[in-house]
Amino acid sequence: MSRIRSVIDPSDIDLIISNHSEMDHSGSLPTVIDAVRPSRIVASKMGVKALSEHFGRTDIEGGMANGYAIVSDIQYRTHLETPGTGFVTGHDISGGLHPDWKRPLGERAALWALARLSARPVADDRFRRAPTA
């Protein structure tokens, strides 16, 4: 909670969106909910099921089909408003990213950031794609 408090007063949070319900990502959610006391907690249909199984919660609204889009939009807008930041996103779709591609994605993002800061080209172009029309 100290990290949350360093950014916002927890009492100012009235909505929690859970877009990833695996325990390694949602394990502290009950602590956050108890401290924040949001008016709404929203998740996808599968998120509601998983969080109910993990924590026995029955107060989570379902039906958030576009949750990833909402969260990505919030993150992107934050990036636009925060000087000196970049934005990289990835999603666990059909096992295509999780867990095999997390490290290479992070490495690529780090190389991109270094190239931007040092004005040197990225030395590793394993992930370079041809431009799309």
DSSP H helices in 20-122 = 23-26, 29-36, 45-55, 67-81, 102-118
Confidence of residue 126 (pLDDT cuts 50, 70, 90): low
More confident residue, 93 or 27: 27
Judged against a pLDDT cut of 70, whether residue 112 lies above it is answered with: yes
> What is the spatial distance between Cα 26 and Cα 118, in angstroms, rounded to a whole number?
36
